[in-house]
Structure 1
């Protein structure tokens, strides 16, 4: 268990915008930050971070919370893992008691797979540095590649001894279960028909140098292994199989080490292999990742999209590599990103070029040779087409097809103009071709929508328009006011119900100085009002208690003591109005009124509106009673009249006209 002292220190020290900034590219938006949702595929920002409140809200998925909630949602951390991650980032020493065997047993399956993977990384590193074979084979290979010892350690490179089950035996001896060694793909388990209770086991990566593959937060997801001996039957590179924690289509090698540099440089270099990434990083170009030898996927591109809109694809210039780059370019364009391509001189690749040149030379080469995708594709395809008119026409159509994938119409037009210039074709013809492609896409989309509409029509009549739950919204507003202004001292105009000389009921104003939470609590107590929503009721009592006990009440400290479900609820309440910031009203000369301008009025109007709503609800209930029975209802009718008069007075105070 992590001590309360450590947890409090983590919450007090952590800056939400800094932690989330490691995963999402954030841009200043007034007092807040905004960015693309890390949970959905979107092109317009709907993700808001409030440094003042230390909470975040993703309006596209509905998720929200504090710094720990973000890590639990985004990285699938457990609560203790999230606390430890933040503690490590801010160099906070974690105080905790040793977990018992029973607690270890209770760790969930994903966590067990992470633990096995982390053990494997440490084991392979140990074999590399501490065994004679590891030093002679693995370490010498990495040093021959030009990697320094510091780089080898930073990337966690290692070696799996060339033994059938050396790693598996070591893992089992340390208490790790064969079940998880199998599920992570580190061990191959073969059932033995002769002895079903004692299956045969083999190390998947035996005799290979190891490249751990990290998540964006630095957790080990899987491995890539390169064989060093010549074996025609064995693949040169071998990756971990798909598992609950490793999905190669959603992972980029090096993203953990590169994320901050990508956001800072506002550009990401995309290479092919592990050694390309490491060599570039060691040379001083840290904003580099690799798709690990697999074809680039939309999920991988969206990982980069969270950090920057700019990708520069680096290829070694061989025909297969260039063809792969062309396919990848279209995927990048579809995501609304800017893409450049840089090829290296014949016989060179990113690894060798970075190894053989100084940082300034590499940077200059990249700056001088990174071509806009349209120039690259046009030059590449034009060379293949040569003087063949038919191939040339196919080349032009191919380029326009790529341009059609760009969501931004202005960019499309600029690229059409550029293509016309390079390929010596009239802009009119290209725009006509683009229109045909767009029309076909629109037709296909319309057909799909039509099919979906038919399915919708089947259930359409069963749906009803949901009415606004007035009481829910008012109770939600009370919680919001308490969170934002609970400890503020305000001058309130209280209302006292009195009879005037004519015997009529009137509301007489009375000035009162009080804290916001005191005013709300006393008003609700006086009217014997209890919040109807169970979640709001729980939050309300916790808030009143915290505000009463702490003069220096802070939202961040308050949230640290709540469960994550309650934290998510509170973040939704606090960030609800922030979504309007996303629309940039100021640019349209619309300036919303700041709530701070009239906190006392906001409190009074909210409480009065709730009173009016409950009075009306009570009158309807009494009216229903009179209709259901034939008894004498004079007392009930008198009560209804009293409520009616009070309702008129309260609405008059709210400047509302009742029909």
Structure 2
């Protein structure tokens, strides 16, 4: 467990805008910052960061909390992992104590995988630089490719010795468990139960998470044997999902934001060479076809992607089929190709940084126009092929959500394809109409499935009145608990302790509210008045969600609201006594109503006269309590 003084230092140092800004492109709007949600696919920003309160709220997904909560939600960190990440960012030394909780092993499973991959990265890097085999084979290869010592060090490149158990033996000797060696894919288990190295005799490319920790590897063989696969990559694990990882993104994200553009290449060496040339906004899809998750990852930082292809025409055509996904996500795509026989790696080494940049500037084309030009050349004078190409191009344009942008491409393609613009628009509208009908049918199908679901399936919970009243109590404790009371008959006390004392006989039903009030009561008993930051940074995620939902608001009135509209919005602080006591008594009235309902039910079911008398007395007493509360609230109870 991380000690409380360390946690306090981390909280004091953390700038939530700075932290979230590493993952989401934020723009200032009034006192807050807004951006596109990293948790859902949206086109209008609903993700809000409040630096004054130290919270974020994502109104599209409902998620919210502190910088710690954000890291836990986005990067799937545990609470301690998020704290350690922030500590590393702000240069804070972490002091820890022993955690004796029973579920420690389960909590540490993911961290154990991270530690194992971190150890492996260090082992491979040292093998490359400090062993004769590593220097003569691995380091020589990297040097031949033109990689400098700085690049090798920055990307933690390595070498796995050409021995069956060099890494595995060293890991076991250092106390690393077989379970994590196998699960991370670093070691492979034989039929007899013994382990051997997966990457033996390969140069190693560590794959870093978004936050810079090594989570997987790509290993390239240097042997000419055609039976040996050129690359071996880490298998999927709890910490590595290749469809949502981009190689080099950890080192590129700052440059992508600054340049407002992301260069997308195919291989590890492409990333390394282009990055080394000073063009740092470059990533690769880690040896997989581009996925929607990877596109959304780029979309957090920029809406502009430039694809850098090699000169292989067949490869380019195959890749084009997958790029419509980028258009569907609303991103702008440009394409750059290189002379045949060259890829970004070889070309930048051949011509240098300035010529490489100049080539990109002079040859890049919008994806739609690039695709049109490429397919037209392939079709030649064949009218059947040309008709197929026209349909394929319009299908791509139909993916673009921005109708104005789509119209511009229709006009451009009409000229290139030498076909009437109205014919292309007609085809585009047919495709969009067909898609709309298909989506509508799918929605109807989903609704029918929901309507015909068996009655015993769990239903969506309804919002109960008690939940609303309980949340109102929590909101008032958060906002006004540390303010002094100056009411007639009550003074020289704080609102928080007063409310806690008044609610001593109330049992909260909503679990997060119940835990919140219990924590608040305990802090008051310890002589402390907890403020909103105490709960915003709490370990209990449900409490954080509750607090942020109550504190965050999507809309705020402008300073000129009254002048413009002459509408006065009531301020609950004008009459704090009515606000606080009203909330307490509304909750008590609701609780009393539930008790009366329960007593009525028991009176109907009870046959014993003695029990009936007891229940009747209780009922009469509770009715008096209800009338007292109602008299205060100014309401009338119908008999």
Q: Return the TM-score normalized by structure 2.
A: 0.86
Q: 2:412 aligns with which of 406, 415, 418?
A: 418
Structure 1 gaps, min length 5: 495-509
Q: 1:650 aligns with which of 626, 633, 638?
A: 633
Q: 1:88 to 1:383 in 2, by over 3 A?
A: same
Distance in 2 (alpha carbons) for counterparts of 1:248 and 1:62: 27
Distance in 2 (alpha carbons) for counterparts of 1:534 and 1:104: 24
Q: By how many angstroms is 1:220 displaced? A: 1.6
Q: By how many angstroms is 1:90 displaced? A: 0.5
Q: By how many angstroms is 1:85 displaced? A: 1.1
Distance in 2 (alpha carbons) for counterparts of 1:615 and 1:483: 25
Question: Residue 37 of structure 1 aligns with which residue?
Answer: 37
Please give the residue correspondences for 1:237-636 in structure 2 after superposition, counting only pairs within 5 Å.
237-459=231-453, 468-489=463-484, 492=487, 515-521=494-500, 523-524=502-503, 528-529=505-506, 531-544=508-521, 546=523, 554-560=531-537, 562-575=539-552, 578-580=553-555, 598=574, 600=576, 602-614=579-591
Counterpart of 1:252 in 2: which secondary structure? coil
Is 2:111 aligned against 1:116? no
Q: 1:433 to 1:616 in 2, by over 3 A?
A: same
Q: Any conservation in 1 of the 2:596–2:619 contact (CA below 8 Å)?
A: no
Q: By how many angstroms is 1:645 displaced? A: 7.0
Q: Report which structure shows greater RCO (CA 8 Å, sep ≥6).
A: 1
Distance in 1 (alpha carbons) for counterparts of 2:521 and 2:269: 57
Distance in 1 (alpha carbons) for counterparts of 2:105 and 2:509: 41
**Greater Cα shift, 543-552 or 416-425:** 543-552
Question: Residue 206 of structure 1 aligns with which residue?
Answer: 200
Q: 2:223 aligns with which of 223, 229, 244?
A: 229
Distance in 2 (alpha carbons) for counterparts of 1:651 and 1:612: 12
Question: Residue 11 of structure 2 aligns with which residue?
Answer: 11
Q: By how many angstroms is 1:39 displaced? A: 3.4
Counterpart of 2:453 in 1: which secondary structure? helix
Question: Residue 88 of structure 2 aligns with which residue?
Answer: 88
Q: Any conservation in 2 of the 1:279–1:354 contact (CA below 8 Å)?
A: yes
Q: Any conservation in 2 of the 1:301–1:332 contact (CA below 8 Å)?
A: yes
Q: By how many angstroms is 1:124 displaced? A: 0.4
Q: 1:218 aligns with which of 189, 193, 212?
A: 212
**Greater Cα shift, 289-298 or 354-363:** 354-363
Q: Return the TM-score normalized by structure 1.
A: 0.84
Aligned pair count reads 624
Q: By how many angstroms is 1:357 displaced? A: 4.2
Q: By how many angstroms is 1:377 displaced? A: 1.2
Question: Residue 141 of structure 1 aligns with which residue?
Answer: 141
Q: By how many angstroms is 1:248 displaced? A: 1.8
Q: 1:531 to 1:326 in 2, by over 3 A?
A: same
Q: CA RMSD in A?
A: 3.6
Question: Residue 507 of structure 1 aligns with which residue?
Answer: none
Counterpart of 1:23 in 2: which secondary structure? coil
Q: 1:390 to 1:546 in 2, by over 3 A?
A: same
Distance in 1 (alpha carbons) for counterparts of 2:265 and 2:568: 47
Distance in 2 (alpha carbons) for counterparts of 1:564 and 1:381: 53
Q: By how many angstroms is 1:212 displaced? A: 0.3
Q: By how many angstroms is 1:465 displaced? A: 8.7
Q: By how many angstroms is 1:432 displaced? A: 0.9
Q: By how many angstroms is 1:97 displaced? A: 5.6
Distance in 1 (alpha carbons) for counterparts of 2:536 and 2:617: 51
Deviations 1:618-651 (A, max 9, x none): 6667777888888798997698478547525523
Structure 2 gaps, min length 5: none
